[in-house]
Amino acid sequence: MGLMRVYIETSVFGGHFDEEFEAVTQDFFQALSQGKIKDLISETLVRELEYAPEQVRALLHNVMERDYEPLPVSEEAVRLSQAYIRAGIIVEQYAGDALHVALATLARADVIVSWNFRHLVNPIRERAFNGVNIASGYGLVSITTPAEILKTAEVEDED
């Protein structure tokens, strides 16, 4: 198997400096730097972090200095994100979260990694996103935390 292609959502960068999530998030970014995971960085993520605290922007800059897969926002991604909103999965106020899922779906990411339990890391919402994806002719999306990605990467290392 090749490297797992992981779409990194905005909350993961903040989690690097959050007392509750920092240890596992730092381990996640270490796995990225060691080339154990292929990171997908979207134009939306970069835009959302533009006015983040300096340490968060510095982390993003460090990640973007390595080899990563850039994901520009397309009209197709905007249409898919609007379909999620029309389906009631995400409200318009949080359209950025819907766009993250759409971008990851269109890029055929293996997984979206996030600490956003309210809108993303939620099995009911994941099922709803996938319902729209299937109805729209797209593949399934998986959404999980950095901790779960690290467990998966460890299992892959053992094989």
**pLDDT single digits (tens) 72-112:** 999 999 999 999 999 999 999 999 999 999 999 999 999 99
Number of domains in the chain: 1
Kindly give, in sequence order, each residue whose CB lies less than 8 Å from that of residue 9, ignoring residues fewer than 6 positions away. Answer: 45, 97, 100, 112, 113, 114, 115, 116, 120
Tokens for 122, please give them: 């939620």
Task: Indicate the SS3 state at residue 69.
Answer: strand
pTM above 0.95, yes or no: no
- Domain containing 61 — which CATH number? 3.40.50.1010
Lowest-confidence segment of 13-27, 101-115, 145-159 by average pLDDT? 145-159
> What is the domain extent for residue 119?
4-158
Q: Which of 63, 66, 143 shows the shortest CA–CA distance to 100?
A: 143
Instruction: State the average pLDDT over residues 12-40.
Output: 94
